[in-house]
Structure 1
């Protein structure tokens, strides 16, 4: 008796459809926050490819985060807009007390996370940058540095000549109160 438990190849693009639906959820949340502000304790972590075509950000941030960056939309952000027709979103943030506007193509988003309600979405198609033919691709993208935006956003510096540090989102999750 042989085991023929090979996965069946789908002729329908379910992966793409699923990712498009998840992106729609993230975009609706961002549009709501842009129009109405963030309700209650909601706040968003957005991770995006900084090396994606069309990303506009200050040069010092691009130098610090050449591949991927995570921002937090919580207390001090402004002009959050989703431009679906143009395929990007913009947000004003403060980094080390210096205001900046980021322009992020929607297709550059790799993750969306609302820790208040533990809703997290990953967008695999944006996780690895498109490589030109003949260029080597890494087996897996490495861990990404994280920039937080709170009272005053200040991107966390990477360790010099050392491994990248991974920040666990578990530290930001609400713990159930025990009364």
Structure 2
């Protein structure tokens, strides 16, 4: 019986660990400099928690922005909770790490994209995002306008 190393899932775990570490630093010390995040997540994920009106408005995915105002950022093992302002209405959210589809910090042109098995019939594969084209004035758009560079092209 042959065994293979599952690099796709190992990279997912490592990149979600990176997100967790970054968010924990923000929870402990605040956002440094011009850093801010666009996080797109699956609103239908079984463990995601958001107000009914947000789930109705964004039935598949939603992009949130962590920038000027946020409160109650609590980083946990499997996800994070945060209160964000939606049109002067503070709303608590819980976002599991495995519900995250993209994580982008346009201030330093850094981004991650998690492709799922539904996106193509292969195992989930993380990809790097070039954030040169992220539109910062559309925080609730379904996806950031970004060039995606798939890590599949580097596989042998």
**Aligned to 1:15, which of 8, 13, 28?**
8
Q: What secondary structure sits across from 1:123 in the alignment?
A: strand
- Contact (CA 8 Å) 1:69, 1:147: kept in 2 or not? no
Q: Does 1:71 align with 2:64?
A: yes
Q: How does 1:103-114 map to 2 (within 5 A)?
A: 103-114=94-105
Unaligned runs of 5+ in 2: 120-136, 148-156
Deviation at 1:124, TM superposition (A): 2.0
Q: Does 1:168 align with 2:150?
A: no
Tell me, which stretches of 5 or more residues in structure 1 are unaligned?
1-9, 130-145, 149-154, 157-164, 171-179
The answer (yes or no) to whether the contact 2:63–2:143 under 8 Å persists in 1 is no
SS at match of 1:92: strand
Please provide the CA RMSD for this pair: 2.5
- TM-score (normalised: structure 2): 0.74
User: Within 5 Å, which residues of 2 pair with 1:8-47?
Assistant: 11-47=4-40
Partner Cα separation in structure 1 for residue 99 and residue 143 of structure 2: 20
Structure with greater proportional strand content: 2
What is the rounded CA distance, in whole Å, between the counterparts of 2:106 and 2:76 in structure 1? 25
Give how far 1:147 is off.
6.5
> For the pair shown, which has the larger CA radius of gyration, 1 or 2?
1
1:23 is displaced (CA, Å) by 1.1
Shift of 1:35: 1.1
Separation in 2, partners of 1:74, 1:61:
19
Partner of 1:151: none
TM-score if structure 1 supplies the norm length? Answer: 0.65
